[in-house]
Amino acid sequence: MIGYALRRLLQAIPTLFVVVTLSFFLMRLAPGGPFDLERPLPAAAMENLKRIYGLDQPLIVQYGRYLLSLAQGDLGPSFSFRDLTVNDLFARGLPVSATLGALALVVALALGLALGTMAAFRRGRLSDRLIGLGASLGLAVPTFVTAPLFQIVFGLSLGWLPVGGWEGGSPRNLVLPVLTLALPQVAAVARLTRSALNEVLAQPHIRTLRAMGLPPYRVALQALRGALLPVISTLGPVAAALLTGSVVVETIFGLPGIGRYFVDGALNRDYTLVMGTVVLVAVMVVIFNLIADLLAAVVDPRLRLGA
Amino acid sequence: MITLAVPRGPSLAALARRRLVRNRPALAALVMLIAVGLACLLGPLLTGHAPSRIYPDLVRVKPSLSAHPKPDAVRPAIDRLAFRMRLTVEEYSVSDHTVRLTLTSPKPINERSLSYLPRSDLFGPARVLERAEYGRRLVVEAPIQRLYFLLGTDVVGRDLLTRCLVAGRISLLIGLTATLVALLVGVAYGAVSGMLGGGGDALMMRIVDILYALPFVFFVIVLLVFFRAGLWLVLVAVAAVEWLDMARIVRTQTLALKSRDFVRAAHALGLTTPAILARHIVPNMLGPIVVAATLLVPRVILLESFLSFLGLGVQEPATSWGVLIAEGSRSLESAPWMLGAPAGFLVVSLIALNVLGDGLADALDPRLSEPS
């Protein structure tokens, strides 16, 4: 299993290489530079700045240097946040985004699995239909609608929770952003669980268990094991997306995560910050896809042969 | 010559249509979508407001079925206008959607100042009924406008319903066009890959795998930020993200169909590969393609509205539901309907598309036997 994991990580290196190369040159093709201010800098100052950041070198040299420092885990200095490196920025923002994302993931899994199981066991009844309706609503309402709605209802009208801010990660400040992030995922997990369970519940081994008189919750546990597979296989990209932060949620709730870095970095032509974010997301996708595949092998023994 | 009478069974399309009609939620979704589409197409002509028409006196009007200005708003509006015209209102009476005023001034009144009335959006052109005291006293009658804002107005006083409908045109257009582009690229790529088989297929699918691993939304954002967002660029960018799934679906189907007898027979009869693709492979997987495309449209619309919400998508003066939602969330406290109206349109359309897609998937599934 460890050998398999290592092989998968090695296989990911070409992909990461393509990602880095594509984004590096794509960005440099674009007009404008990181030091273009509304009032242009004096030519000498511009020269100096470019020399300090190595932008005076030919593009291919810059690319080589970037790859070299990237291989050592150094993402370079940020152009828009002076005196800070991209690593510093991530060290500050990633814990915030990752905390929110991890909590949202837990909520999504717990609620989604519970609701999906309930719907599958009450197939065709009112609760099944209500859950189905709720799930399609949850999938259709974008976070940039739910977030301000939550702020108005729970923050301003009812006054139960703060409308935004981080405050060192106090639980009260986390509730609304986590709920906003989790809601579409709850709906997705519930839908997947329901359809997968419906398929498993029709299989002979479940009928046997029922015939043997097992209590419903034991049947549910047994069936869930078979139904978990499709849920797990979609979880990789979802987890990566959740943990690397959401522009919308972090902007609306005013959270100091890394979700904003990409858009801000792109707007400011902060080459290293944009590159860093792209690399971070790509690495996260690779890692979480691997974890999802390993988990799938744990749940389904048939998948272990391939590994 | 012998002719064989072959009993013709119902075609898949006919079966699917029958099943779809029986699926009430899917049918309701279809009706809903047609309604939204027609409303967006024709509605802006019927609301009586141009989407960019600004009513400065009717800012942040609440949604209602009654006409504006409201009866209790007429007097303050008249007072405000009289102040601007530097006249005194001596008498004031309202009857039958007209207002009758007696205006006085210490100096003779310049009747051109009466144009303040129609200019205010609230009243029509004024008619002078009586002149007295050498023009220092006028009796004037002006019709009160009857403006309807079913969904209210926004922060600068534009009719929200008209704006939502016009925005819907863009959102739906982007959804459909980007889906079409993704569909064409994905079907062509997937079919060719599946048909080639072997090394070519492996290479083409490896490329798709690599593209899957790219944080594509990020590339779209880079494209939009660096190369100045335009509607068509948004379209291409969105399509570039979404064709991958289609390619995978089509490839799997092609692989399955390729080894079937009728395709082998076509080969044996000397048909070229492109002809087989066009005549036998693609038509045989229309079902899954239609389903995937229907489910793709809501995703595209959602992606576009996300980009527009960030200010990277559709740019002023054009507008989409995402743009309107962004505006609405900024003035949520003072005018909650500005978020509610476009969000409602967006959510209803997305749900309807999803329900229709699921319904089509059931209807086009040949495994499901026809319940008689």
SS3 annotation, chain A: CHHHHHHHHHHHHHHHHHHHHHHHHHHHHCCCCCCCCCCCCCHHHHHHHHHHCCCCCCHHHHHHHHHHHHHCCCCCECCCCCCCEHHHHHHHHHHHHHHHHHHHHHHHHHHHHHHHHHHHHCCCCHHHHHHHHHHHHHHHCCHHHHHHHHHHHHHHHCCCCCCCCCCCCCHHHHHHHHHHHHHHHHHHHHHHHHHHHHHHHCCHHHHHHHHCCCCHHHHHHHHHHHHHHHHHHHHHHHHHHHHCCCHHHHHHCCCCCCHHHHHHHHHCCCHHHHHHHHHHHHHHHHHHHHHHHHHHHHHCHHHHCCC
Which residues between 152 and 171 in chain A have a beta carbon less than 8 angstroms from any beta carbon of chain B?
A: 152, 156
Q: What is the DSSP letter of B113?
A: G
CA distance B201 to chain A (A): 18
Rounded mean pLDDT, A37-62: 78
The shortest CB-CB distance from A152 to any of B302, B332, B355 is to B332
Cis peptide before B69 (omega within 30 of 0): yes
- Cβ–Cβ below 8 Å for B347 and A30: no
* Highest mean pLDDT, choosing among A98-107, A135-144, A161-170, B309-318: A98-107
State pLDDT tens for residues A67-102. Answer: 888 888 888 888 887 788 888 888 888 888 988 999
User: What average pLDDT does range B97-106 have in this prediction?
Assistant: 77
Q: Quote the CA–CA distance of B155 and A40 in Å, as a whole number.
A: 36
A281·B215 Cβ contact <8 A: yes
Instruction: Note the pLDDT of residue B1.
Output: 55
**Average pLDDT of every residue of chain A:** 83
A136 to B222: CB separation less than 8 angstroms, yes or no: no
A144 contacts on B by Cβ (under 8 Å): 305-306, 309, 325-326, 329
pLDDT of residue B132: 74
Of B4-8, B289-293, B337-341, give the lowest mean pLDDT range.
Answer: B4-8
B147 forms beta bridges with B68
CA dist B283 and B285 (Å) reads 6
- Which pLDDT value is given to residue B213? 67
How many Cα atoms within 13 Å fall on the side-chain side of residue A207? 4
Q: Is the pLDDT of residue A37 over 70?
A: no
Q: What is the mean pLDDT of residues A258-282?
A: 83
Q: Dig out the tokens for A126 from the structure.
A: 């009112």
In the structure, what pLDDT confidence band is assigned to residue A111 with cuts at 50, 70 and 90? very high
Would you say B321 and B348 are in contact if contact means Cβ atoms under 8 Å apart?
Answer: no
The backbone torsions φ and ψ at residue A167, rounded to the nearest 5 degrees and listed phi first, read 55, 45
* Cα dist from A6 to A11, A203, A296, A300, whole Å: 9, 36, 17, 21
A11 touches chain B (CB under 8 A): no
DSSP-assigned letter for residue B190:
H
Q: Residue B230: its pLDDT value, please?
A: 65
pLDDT of residue A106: 93
Q: Which two tokens stand for residue B267?
A: 């080969």
Q: By CA distance, what is A269's nearest residue in B?
A: B226
Helix (H, G, I), strand (E, B) or coil at B87: coil
Residues with Cβ within 8 Å of A102's Cβ and at least 6 positions away in sequence, in order, are A242, A243
Task: Indicate yes or no: CB of A152 within 8 angstroms of CB of B336.
Answer: yes
Residue B7 confidence (pLDDT) above 60: yes
Tokens representing residue B206 in the block: 């490896």
- What are the structural domains of chain B? 12-45+153-363 (1.10.3720.10), 71-143 (3.30.1360)
Model pTM? 0.81
Instruction: List the structure tokens of A130.
Output: 């209500």
Min distance A63 CA to chain B CA atoms (Å): 18
Interface of B with A in 274-293 (CB under 8 A): none
The answer to whether residue A262 neighbours chain B at the CB level (below 8 Å) is yes
How do residues B148-184 score in pLDDT, each as one tens digit? 887 877 777 788 888 889 888 888 888 888 888 888 8
What is the reported pLDDT for A307? 43
Q: Which residues of A touch B354 (CB under 8 A)?
A: 136, 139-140
pLDDT for the residue numbered B341: 86
Q: Name the average pLDDT for chain B.
A: 79
Q: Does A59 touch chain B (CB under 8 A)?
A: no
* Highest mean pLDDT: which range of A247-251, B118-122, B311-315: A247-251
User: Taking 90 as the threshold, does the pLDDT of residue B323 lie above it?
Assistant: no
Q: What is the pLDDT of residue B371?
A: 45
Tens of pLDDT along B13-69? Answer: 777 778 778 888 888 888 999 999 998 888 888 887 888 777 877 777 777 777 777
User: Average pLDDT in the A137-144 region?
Assistant: 86
Q: Hey, which residues 23-42 in chain A have their CB within 8 Å of chain B?
A: 23, 26-27, 29-32
Q: Say what percent of chain B tops pLDDT 90.
A: 1
A12 touches chain B (CB under 8 A): yes
Q: Phi, psi at residue B329, to the nearest 5°?
A: -70, -20
Confidence of residue B2 (pLDDT cuts 50, 70, 90): low
Q: What is the dihedral of CA A149, A151, A154, A155, to 10 degrees?
A: -150
pLDDT of B370 strictly over 50: no
Task: Please count the other Cβ atoms lying within 10 Å of the Cβ belonging to residue A179.
Answer: 19
Question: DSSP letter string over B200-231?
Answer: HHHHHHHHHHHHHHS-HHHHHHHHHHHTT--H
* pLDDT value of position B231: 65
pLDDT in tens, A158-203: 878 887 777 777 788 888 899 999 999 999 899 888 888 888 888 8
Q: Which of A300-304, B35-39, B243-247 has the highest mean pLDDT?
A: B35-39
Nearest-CA distance B227 → chain A (Å) = 6
CB nearest B302 (choices: A142, A267, A278): A142
Is residue B351 within 8 angstroms of chain A, CB to CB? yes
Flag whether pLDDT at B372 surpasses 50: no
User: Which of A23, A145, A261 is the best residue to mutate to test the B interface, defined by the most B CB atoms within 10 Å of its own CB?
Assistant: A145
User: B206-243 pLDDT, tens per residue?
Assistant: 788 777 766 667 777 777 776 665 667 767 777 877 88
Confidence band (pLDDT; 50, 70, 90) for B6? low
The residue count for chain A: 307
